[in-house]
Structure 1
Amino acid sequence: MVLMRMKLPFERRVKLAQGLWLLSWTATLAGALTFTLGCLLKTELQRRAEVMDNTEIHVVPNTLMVVSLASLGINYFAGRVCQEALDAGRFPRWKAFMKPYWGASLFFTLLMLIPVIISYAMKGNLESSLEIGLKNGIRFYKDTDTPGRCFQKQIIDRLQMEFKCCGNTDYKDWFQVQWVSNHYLDFSSKEVKDRVRSNVDGRFLFDGVPFSCCNPSSPRPCIQDRLNNNSAHYNYEHQTEELNIYARGCREALVTYYMGLMNSIGAGVLSVFLVQSSVLVSLRYLQTAMEAVAGQENTEIETEGYLLENGMKEIVMEYLNRLLAFVKLNQVGGEEVRAGAWPTPA
């Protein structure tokens, strides 16, 4: 049973071809936009590569760029076909390519949904990647003279100022690491000696944070040392001084930023998917309608276009029968091989 049949007289075929030409070039521009969005997301992920533990999330922009490049070729071909679709003498030269082209177009159009699904599914992966990356970044913050980590301090400071965050989970993460290099510690000081000796690993730990955690919206000069000691500062109560330093952790800030970016890109990709689907459906109707015109002198006859030659049930059963026949053929071939390998004794 033919699925979604539609009668298409000559005038409607002309309008369909004209509309498809315009729609195909719109989809071409949309494909270029998708490629730009993929490059944008790729760039943003590369910018924060130092605070990410793995690169699995890069599958989202990579897939977007591959699909968008494929859509450019798909829509260019669709524009060429619809230009010649009304010329019965020239259309048949495309006929041999239409089914493979339509199948490849359908594949890449459905593949366009994969990045949208992955972007939501990999939220947990993004969080764990940022958690480990930020933890290492904070730990190596002081290693400004170590090759490979020279810019770690600059990266973390810029990150905290740009996203208005502090630490991994919160500002207390800085209390658990020695973020001040030994080059800038006075080991002749009793306070420094006591703090180093009181730690099992011999690290200098204190309740302070880097300057990049300071909130410029605070009405008082930033307090970044002895944050938990109320008596060390005049008129200070650390539990109520919310504006002194950023309270939000950088992991939460980055996850919110990237998920917001991917949600916006996902909405744009879904719009492109709808345009691309419209191109495929229109091209399929034009193809099936023009197949009835091919080889006839009168091109102004009324024809029928359809989406699928058979219903979904018939298509599924056809492919299922082919699969069963293929499996059965392999089983018969395997039995013949075994029979030839182990001949029966005389």
Structure 2
Amino acid sequence: MKKFNVVFCGTPDFSVPTLELLSTHPLINIKYVITMPDRPAGRGQNLQSPPVAEFAKAHKLPLFQTENINKEADFLTKLENENIDFFVVLAFAQFLGNKILNMPKLGCFNIHTSVLPRFRGAAPIQYALLNGDKETGVSIQKMVKKMDAGDLAISHPVPIFEYENGGLLYTRLKFQAALSCADLIEDISKDKVTYTQQDESFVTFAPTLKKEDGLLNFKEQTFEEITNRLRALDPWPGCYCFLGKKRLKVFEIEKHHSTLIPGKTEVVYNQILVGAKDCTIRLKFIQLEGKKACLDSDLLNGLQNSKEPILINGDL
């Protein structure tokens, strides 16, 4: 049976299971793996390869690293002579220009972790949790110049479990992405790929998250909104508020029967309570800047000699 000449573009560990699938698939011949350059990392600032580059080197796959693939004229000329059937793109961190999009016979396929057109952009996993969705998914679209707007070749719904945070869902979806890619290859091999246009009236976006997105605003956020934020931003960037002038990371909360006004702080029976928009919550498991993570009661015991009042976000 004919093998397909494929180029894979990806960078983080999320991309590795799909690259591994491609590298072992009997119908796939990987012509090149394209990823970002090595970066200084750690205290010593030693150069470190992206996970995709590490996998490619370990398995002796042809590798090309670049900051911007669209500017690599000589390499692109070489690729044009490689008789490429299609590209697979997953978490690449670069846009592909028209020259690349038009190069392979069957096009460029991007794997995206939402049911498109919902949550186009860089952070679909986190936004599904922020929104309190019960379901997300994996979509494979035939790429066009407009971000995440191509026709869908694969759309697999995936349930979100109540216990899942951003890290757990990330891990599950990186393997689902590989399974969905396997389905795409099967469809291509049987010439059974069918495309569905995205309905632009249902488009929503999931832009890149920043550290500041983890700041909790008890006065404006409900218990459910705070809970969703804790799940979505775990492990990165994490949620926090301020106890006095020190950052206080928040890992776990629970509802409390007290009736504090939104933004008001109170210590009751050695528990830190804050008024949210719709109820009073206890900051149950927390970590004060410079200290270990612990229960609020343990933190208060450690602060018992402090004369400063316990104020969260300035006790709005």
Q: TM-score, normalised by structure 2?
A: 0.25
In proportion to residue count, which structure has more strand?
Answer: 2
Q: TM-score, normalised by structure 1?
A: 0.24
Larger Rg: 1 or 2?
1
Q: Which has the higher contact order (CA 8 A, sep 6+)?
A: 1
In proportion to residue count, which structure has more helix?
Answer: 1
